[in-house]
Amino acid sequence: AVLSGPVPVMLSLFVAISVSLNARARLGTAVVRGLSRNAGAIMVVGAADIVGEVDNWRPEGGHGTGNRFMPLDTVAMGPGPMLMAIAGLYPGLTAAELRAPQPLPFAPAGGWNYHRLLADGVPTGFVALPGNELVAEHPDTVAVVCDGTSLGVEFADGASHECLALIDRSDEAVANPGLLDPRQFYALSDAAGRVHIRWSDGVPEGWTVQGRLIFTQLPHVKKPGSGGGFAEMDDDFEF
């Protein structure tokens, strides 16, 4: 008589929840154990899916077992290093050479890609550059190895050095030359097919827009005599 009314219903609900949680714990542990025993299996298990013995899924001698922890490093949430296809050398580059390479896809933010480079994939090769958000927004970008003097670039040591002009071949001015921005630099090809990296108030007659310069990557060049006599004051000193 004491348990008459809504109490039995609440008790039944409590028992049902307890049974459900216990079953979930056993299921979660079993799934994790099963995946850990399969070589090469990929395990995607959320914290909410595991109730009970969480550590049972860790392989013997693995991270977090025996009070031992692997050194771990997480990729920053941003563009990863970029493997850029090289279109050729400038000056002397042709429009056909600039259009030829097939760019590799950029890695997703916070991750990386795997590439198997074949000998006949891009004969001119690739160059690795730090991740850059601006370049990541333009996946049809290729690198052109340039002599700095040919671009009018000065270096701290007064000498000329190779630099990389990153050309976006998908710029809107390629399809519509009327959209060329006179404040920007472009890869323009003349009537003979020779490429010129420059700004222009308009597209000269007989010329074609091949792409827009995103930016030019420069090497680190030390100014002669910049050291103060102490290694710690040198720009290239590393602790």
pLDDT of 184-215, one tens digit each?
999 999 999 999 999 999 999 999 999 999 99
- Bridge partner list, 209: 188
Q: Stretch 19-38: mean pLDDT, rounded?
A: 36
Give counts: helices (H), strands (E), the chain: 5, 7
Is the pLDDT reported for residue 41 higher than 70? no
Distance CA 231, CA 239 (A): 10
Q: Six-digit token pair at 69?
A: 């922890």
Mean pLDDT check: name the lowest of 8-12, 80-84, 200-204, 212-216: 8-12
pTM of the model: 0.68
Question: What's the confidence (pLDDT) of residue 19?
Answer: 37
CB 111 within 8 A of CB 79: no
- Cis upstream peptide for 177 (omega within 30°): no
Question: What's the confidence (pLDDT) of residue 228?
Answer: 55
Q: How confident is the model at residue 58 (pLDDT cuts 50, 70, 90)?
A: confident
Q: Stretch 18-38: mean pLDDT, rounded?
A: 37
Question: What's the confidence (pLDDT) of residue 36?
Answer: 36
Cβ-based neighbour number of residue 156 at 10 Å: 13
Q: How confident is the model at residue 9 (pLDDT cuts 50, 70, 90)?
A: very low
Higher pLDDT, residue 37 or 229 = 229
| % of the chain at pLDDT higher than 90 | 50
Sign of CA dihedral 178, 182, 187, 188: positive
Q: Stretch 127-136: mean pLDDT, rounded?
A: 92
State which of 37-41, 44-48, 74-78, 129-133 shows the largest mean pLDDT.
129-133
Question: What's the confidence (pLDDT) of residue 23?
Answer: 38
